Structure 1
Amino acid sequence: MQSYLPIILLAVAGFLIGGVYATWKTARFFAVVLAVAALMAIVGGIGWMIYG
């Protein structure tokens, strides 16, 4: 199961990026919060692949 966690994190990041795209014109603050969460998921997934 542990080898699937980085892939799951990257998939979650993809959904969050989609949320950023969808909410950018209506709720910019929420879009920025989603972007930060997506960035954290990407860094976590890549970091887990490299160092995990």
Structure 2
Amino acid sequence: MGGVLPTLLLILAGVLVGGAWSLHKQGAPRGAVVVTALLAALATVGGVLWLLPGEGA
């Protein structure tokens, strides 16, 4: 199960990036776009950091 969670996080990041882009193109409030983009960044960082080798791997 080691590779499932990071994969899901990276998929979620992709969906959130698409959502942020869509919100931006539709003229949504800036705050909504920024929050969605930040969540995408957090999901990306989490997925990538999870894949990095570390203690206990």
TM-score (norm 1): 0.88
Q: How does 1:1-52 map to 2 (within 5 A)?
A: 1-24=1-24, 25-51=27-53
**Count of residues in Structure 1 that have an aligned counterpart in Structure 2:** 52
Please state how far the C-alpha of 1:51 moved relative to its aligned partner: 3.5
Please state how far the C-alpha of 1:3 moved relative to its aligned partner: 1.7
What's the Cα RMSD here? 1.2
What are structure 2's unaligned runs of at least 5 residues?
Answer: none
What is the DSSP-based 3-state SS (H/G/I as helix, E as strand, rest coil) of the residue aligned with 1:44?
helix
Please state how far the C-alpha of 1:27 moved relative to its aligned partner: 2.0
Post-superposition CA distance 1:4-43 (Å, at most 9, x none): 1001000000000011011112221101000000000000
The runs of at least 4 consecutive aligned structure 1 residues that moved more than 3 Å come to: none
In 2, Cα distance between the equivalents of 1:34 and 1:51? 28
Q: Percent of aligned pairs with the same residue?
A: 40
